[in-house]
Structures are given as C-alpha cells and as structure tokens.
Amino acid sequence: MTPGTYTRLIRFLQEDLAISRASIDVAERVRSKEQWQRDQDPNSLPMVLWQYGLVTLEQLDKIFDWLAQAY
C-alpha cells in the first residue's frame, strides 16, 4: 500500500467510521511486529482492528469496500 493510500485509509477510519486514533494506534503497534505486512498486505490493519474488537463486522465490510475502490 502506498503511503498516500495508507494516509487516506487512516482518514477514512477516523472520519467516516469514527474509529478513535487510540484504536488505530493499538492496531498499528500490533502490526509493527510484522512491519513488512504494511506494504505487502493492505488487509492487515483492518484485520487487526477486527481481531481486537476495535471494529464491528459491518465496519470491517465498509473498510474492505473502501480498499477495493482505492485500488
């Protein structure tokens, strides 16, 4: 995922889905253990958010729809 797309994803999460910056920070810390995934797998951040109960399945669906349109 390009840095610009990642920035737009974060903005979408915060502005459209009202996911707190703290929740996003938690997911990013979990992902940092496997840093290579950020560039390789655009689904890793949404999946971590869901696995930790920080987003609902409905929100996860909206995130994947957004990602599909972003590419």
pLDDT of residue 39: 55
Tens of pLDDT, residue by residue over 4-57, are 999 999 999 999 999 999 999 999 888 776 665 555 577 889 999 999 999 999
pLDDT at 67 > cutoff 60: yes
Distances (CA, A) of 20 to 10, 55, 70: 10, 10, 22
pLDDT of residue 44: 86
Distances (CA, A) of 12 to 19, 33, 34, 36: 9, 24, 23, 22
pTM score, two decimals? 0.84
Given a contact cutoff of 8 angstroms between Cβ atoms, the answer to whether 62 and 50 are in contact is no
